[in-house]
Amino acid sequence: MTLLENKLVLVTGGGGGLGAAMAHGVVKAGARVIVADVRLEAAEAVAGAIRARGGQAWAEAVDVTDRAATQRLADALGARLGPIDVLVNNAGISGKARIDDPNAAEVWDRLIQVNLQGLFNVTHAFVPALKQSRGCIVNLSSIVAFVSGISSAGYIASKGAVRSFTQALARDLAPFGVRANAVAPGLMLTDMVKPQLQVQGGTDWYMDRVPMKRGGEPEEIVGPVVFLASGMASYVNGVVLPVDGGFLSA
């Protein structure tokens, strides 16, 4: 028996990187998956690859910063597929700006808009469905929610807020049988991160400290997410689980 047998999972930001890895991973665990991304072509590519391997997958376009669009998606999916069982809030962006940089305010606004407001929009839209299914939420935070390692107040603040929001959700939704947890990845070797590897010293802040002396592969986020989404974690609620090769323990 697979851990997510016949569960309906929505993965935002599923068109690439960690989102694509998680979309493939939940299907391997027995789930059906909705791959949502602001880039419909990317979502279609991931969903198509899953279907080619015999899985059930649908692609949807959504801009998580558009609250009305997230509600339309929730309504449409509910009518067509029924309530989702698992929401994986993965959609997010990165960006660097010191507080005294000329573009600091612009970078801050965009990071908060996507990484925090977007996560709220999707969650708010799908809470009724999750109450109906007594499902669960897995949010994507970051190790920078625990310790600063980069010069980006906006990114650090947004991921720290995701950590706190997850704990608030766990408290608010527990009476309805809905759990909320998060994973906090370390440096994961996605296409968004790989350019840092080409910059002299670009990842020293991480590699000098992490005991395993390497970054994580996107597929290494799948196991923790599947666990948190499954019945094996039925008494796990409000946890933010580091997936960081021991970085925070060093």
CA distance 76 to 59: 13
The CA–CA distances, whole Å, from 107 to 150, 192, 203 equal: 14, 16, 21
CA distance 239 to 237: 6
- Tell me if 246 sits within 8 A of 174, measured CB to CB: no
**In a 10 Å sphere around its CB, with 0-12 CB exposed, 13-18 middle and 19+ buried, how is residue 230 labelled?**
buried
Number of H helices and E strands in the chain, helices first, is 9, 7
Structure tokens at 85: 């069982």
- In sequence order, which residues have a C-beta less than 8 Å from that of residue 43 and are 6 or more positions away? 14, 15, 35, 36, 37, 59, 60, 61
177: alpha, beta or left? (left if phi > 0; alpha if psi -120 to 50): left
* β-sheet bridge partners, residue 242: 184
Residue that is written with structure tokens 């929505």 in the block? 10
CA distance 149 to 164: 19
Q: In the annotation, is 235 catalytic?
A: no
Catalytic residue among 58, 108, 126, 155: 155
CA distance 134 to 139: 17
Catalytic machinery residues: 155
